[in-house]
Amino acid sequence: MTMTSTMAVAQRAGRLLRRFSGLPLRWQIGGLVLVGLVIIFTLFGLLGAAIAQDGKQRTVNQWLSITKSTAGFLDSEVDEQFERLERAGALVSQANGDVTEQRRILFDALGQPESFVSTAFMLDPAGNLLWSNALDGGPLQAYVHAYPDVLTPARTGQRYASGVHALAGQPAAILSVPLMDVDEQPVGVIGEVISPAQGLMSDLVASARGLAKTGHAELVDQYGRVVASSEPDHALGPGEHPDFYGPLLAKHQSGIGATRAMAMSDQGDTGQLHVMAFVPLDNVPWGLALGGSEAELSADANQWQHQILLFGGITLLLALGLVWLTTRGVALPIEALTSASRRIASGDLSTPIPHEGEGEVRVLAEAFDDMRTDLQTALTDLAIEKSRYEGIVGSMADAVVTTDMALHITAFNPAASVLTGWSKDEVVGRAACELICAAKGPPSECRAACPLLANPPQLGVSKEVIRTREGREVHVAVTRSAIRDHDGHIAGVVHVLRDISAEEELSRLKDEFLSTVSHELRTPLGFIKGYALTPLLPDAPNDPQTTRHCLEVIAAASDELEELVGNLLDMTKIGAGTLSVSPTQTRLRPLVHAAIERSRLRSEGRHHFLMLVPASLPAVWADARRVEQVLYNLLDNAIKYSPNGGHIAVKAHQTSDEVTVSVIDEGLGVSAGELPALFQRFYRGQAARERGIGGSGLGLAICRGIVEAHGGRIWAESPAAGGQSAEAPGMAIRFTLPVAPARRGSAGLLRKHTVGLSRKQA
């Protein structure tokens, strides 16, 4: 069958199924029952045929077994005759040519033959009869001359069995063995004439008729002629099944087969198909066949088929009656229930369901009606619950995302849209690993290693980094909980995401600060300890100059420690809102000069400092110590970020009622994105992290706190406008201070201001 015809058959079958499914229920029930009965009857027919075939096969196997045993018995009888002739030949050989003694020996050994042996004889190599127990040896002598193969043992030294021939009008065959002299050379032949139609051999063959009414058996020779048969007048004729016997005799094999009898051998078997078992004999080139009519073997199968047809007809009538009763009592009420269920499926829950039918059908209709009422109530409650859920989730500040077991997004609240940049309509139905997954790599690798796809899913709280629609990385704390169905099985996952980017950044800055402060503390402490222990060494130089140098180093390291601790205390005060300043009328020029001189030592001659502060600049209303601290911190920052040296300028000019002070360097500068974060606590620029520039990240934050405590502003610019070199970008940090009032009023009183950092600034 071609592909096209197969597809055509499949299409026709599909159309038939669709038509059948569109029929009323009563017709469907009847059709299914009819198909079921046909299938059952077919199975019964196949079973009956299989049983009959099995019985037939057992009978045939039994025939083959009987044939083998009978053939074995015949074979043993023939072998016994051969051995009898060989024993007589051995005794004759010992007579040393004494003819009288030889004849006596032959008469004693072969004078009383078996029932199926008619004559015993001895021939010389030329075929002349030397001895015979028959009164008239003429027919035997003529037979030998007609069939000289009887002398074959004299040439080959082997046993010989002839085919069947007519001897004195009766079927006969000859068994012969070689006659040896004292030198084991053939000198003649000793043999017997067998009459298969008489005695034991004929009885064994004839007993096969009792196997069946049509049973028959025949013993055939190597030429296909009948040696003996269970049917009269068949001997010497051709076998009934020569086409079957011939190949098996040639191959010396046993077999079972169905074959038609030859019309010329038995007119009553014309056209009959026989099942025959054939077994070749080992000691003679003959074969025994046994069998019977195939029709007799098939009688049981035919009887089964008639009984199955009768049983099937009666059962079909009963089934049709039951189908008619079933359609009236069950199918019609069920059709009414089907119509009602369609109304319910379309949303009509107000129309009652009719209670038709009897028994279980009526109970089913009542249960449907109760289900309709309960479903109507449940839908009302579900609508209220859904509205409550959507209101709660929609108003949550945290992002809420729900997924099914395949991690496809099923819900997405407004906070999730704000966090990720995706809208609800864009993400519902898509895989979560494409949108909010923390893993890097293609979605296939993500799903292969996803803990949420394990069995059971690994839920709980975790910290992850997701990418927004714009590609920005966001640190989130994710709480995952299971959504379970009414059986308690996990049906999905709720993901609650909270943006912790600020906390993570603060934590990172704190860790970096602790690392930096530890390093900053370790350096001066190492100097203090090292130079304090130097005078105590046994071989230390004992001169005032060395001692003074050690004390100077210890004092300088102590100043660094004091400065670092002071910065930490100032940052603590700023964070707590307790940093205080005592402003007075202050001149900026001396403060700038002092800060530059102090920074010049720190620079070690690598930088050129410029002070561009006019002498006519008005006084500012500021705390001199704190302003000098701001200037020194800014100059120190400029030195750190100008590792290659260059100019560092401090400028000041008046603008309205305030003075703007600028510290400008020719250093590395910062990117525009880093400028807003420079004045945060613990923040250190990318250049500082990449080049290993020291610092605690507190200097600029303290400067901002002090400047804001004075009511001023502080900001950074990069590249620096007004710098001294166009090759380096540099950076300018500017801050403002209020101009001292012209009339002091209560100038004798100290005014104190405090400043603190808000949580967002911190």
Alpha carbon distance 753, 731 (integer Å)? 30
The two structure tokens encoding residue 127: 């075929």
pLDDT band at 747 (very low <50, low <70, confident <90, very high): very low
Strand 658-665 vs strand 731-738: parallel, antiparallel, or unpaired? antiparallel
pLDDT at 512: 63
Same structural domain, 652 and 520: no
Same structural domain, 153 and 259: yes
Which CATH number characterizes residue 206's domain? 3.30.450.20
Question: How confident is the model over 721-735, as a mean pLDDT?
Answer: 70
The two structure tokens encoding residue 589: 């020029």
Same structural domain, 571 and 689: yes
273, pLDDT greater than 60: yes
pLDDT at 629: 86
Same structural domain, 571 and 640: yes
pLDDT band at 748 (very low <50, low <70, confident <90, very high): very low
Q: Is residue 41 part of a domain?
A: no
Q: Which of 332-341, 481-490, 750-759 has the lowest mean pLDDT?
A: 750-759
279, pLDDT greater than 80: yes
Same structural domain, 261 and 190: yes
Question: How confident is the model over 507-531, as a mean pLDDT?
Answer: 68
pLDDT at 746: 40
Bridge partners (DSSP) of residue 85 are: none
Q: Is residue 121 part of a domain?
A: yes
How do residues 493-513 score in pLDDT, each as one tens digit? 888 888 887 777 677 767 666
Strand 117-123 vs strand 186-194: parallel, antiparallel, or unpaired? antiparallel
Which of these three, 252, 274, 297, is where a domain ends? 297
Same structural domain, 434 and 529: no
How do residues 52-65 score in pLDDT, each as one tens digit? 777 777 877 887 88
Question: How confident is the model over 394-400, as a mean pLDDT?
Answer: 81
Q: What are phi and psi of 573, to 5 degrees?
A: -65, -40
Alpha carbon distance 109, 697 (integer Å)? 135
How do residues 349-372 score in pLDDT, each as one tens digit? 777 777 766 667 777 777 877 887
Q: Which of 661, 656, 758, 640 is nearest to 713 (CA)?
A: 661
CB 623 within 8 A of CB 588: no
602, pLDDT greater than 60: yes
Question: How confident is the model over 46-55, as a mean pLDDT?
Answer: 73
Q: Is residue 534 part of a domain?
A: yes
Could you give the percent of the chain with pLDDT greater than 90?
A: 7
More confident residue, 201 or 117: 117
- Residue 234 per-residue DSSP state: -
Q: Is residue 17 part of a domain?
A: no
Which CATH number characterizes residue 602's domain? 3.30.565.10
Same structural domain, 549 and 619: no
Which of these three, 561, 578, 605, is where a domain ends? 561
Q: Is residue 378 part of a domain?
A: no
623, pLDDT greater than 80: yes
CB 422 within 8 A of CB 471: no
pLDDT at 587: 93
pLDDT at 662: 93
Same structural domain, 462 and 590: no
737, pLDDT greater than 90: yes
Q: Is residue 617 part of a domain?
A: yes
Q: Is residue 390 part of a domain?
A: no
Q: What's the whole-model pTM score?
A: 0.41
pLDDT band at 749 (very low <50, low <70, confident <90, very high): very low
pLDDT band at 110 (very low <50, low <70, confident <90, very high): confident
Q: Is residue 612 part of a domain?
A: yes
Please name the residue that has the structure tokens 């500021």.
Answer: 622
**Long-range pairs, 347-350, Cβ under 8 A, ≥24:** 349/375, 349/376, 349/379, 350/376
Same structural domain, 526 and 584: no
pLDDT band at 758 (very low <50, low <70, confident <90, very high): very low
More confident residue, 380 or 529: 380
| Total tally of structural domains belonging to the chain | 4
405, pLDDT greater than 70: yes
757, pLDDT greater than 50: no
Could you give the percent of the chain with pLDDT greater than 70?
A: 78
How do residues 131-182 score in pLDDT, each as one tens digit? 888 767 778 888 888 888 888 888 888 889 888 888 777 788 888 999 888 7
Question: In sequence order, what E strands does 471-614 have?
Answer: 473-484, 490-499, 579-581, 584-586, 607-612
pLDDT at 202: 67
Q: Which of 445-459, 604-618, 624-638 has the lowest mean pLDDT?
A: 445-459
pLDDT at 50: 76
Q: Which of 648, 683, 682 is nearest to 667 (CA)?
A: 648
Same structural domain, 441 and 491: yes
pLDDT at 735: 94
Alpha carbon distance 34, 40 (integer Å)? 10
SS3 at position 2: coil
pLDDT mean across residues, the chain: 77
411, pLDDT greater than 60: yes
600, pLDDT greater than 90: no
Same structural domain, 555 and 511: yes
Give the range of the structural domain holding residue 197, as residue numbers without chain letter: 58-297
How do residues 569-599 score in pLDDT, each as one tens digit? 766 777 667 777 889 999 999 999 988 988 8
611, pLDDT greater than 80: yes
The continuous run of DSSP H or E covering 299 comes out as helix 299-326
Which of these three, 499, 516, 550, is where a domain ends? 499
664, pLDDT greater than 70: yes
Same structural domain, 265 and 404: no
pLDDT at 721: 66
Alpha carbon distance 201, 653 (integer Å)? 149
User: Helix-strand-coil percent breakdown of the chain, rounded to 5?
Assistant: 50, 20, 30
Q: Which of 214, 388, 178, 195 is nearest to 293 (CA)?
A: 214
